[in-house]
Structure 1
Amino acid sequence: MKVTPEHNERIAKMTFSSVYPHYVTKVEKKGRTIEELHTVITWLTGFDSVKIQELIDEKVTFKTFFERAEINPNAHLIKGVICGYRIEDIDNTLTQQTRFLDKLVDELAKGRKMEKILRQ
Structure 2
Amino acid sequence: MDDLFLKIVDGTIPSKKVLETDNVLAFHDIQPAAPVHVLIIPKKYIPSMNAVTEEDLPLIAEIHRVAVEVAKKLGIAESGYRLINNCGPDSGQAVGHLHYHLLGGAKLGALTGISDSHF
Query: Which category of TM-score, normalised to the shorter sequence, fits these structures?
Result: 0.3 to 0.5
Q: Normalising by structure 1, what TM-score?
A: 0.35
Greater helix content: 1
Q: Normalising by structure 2, what TM-score?
A: 0.35
| Greater relative contact order (Cα < 8 A, sep 6+) | 1
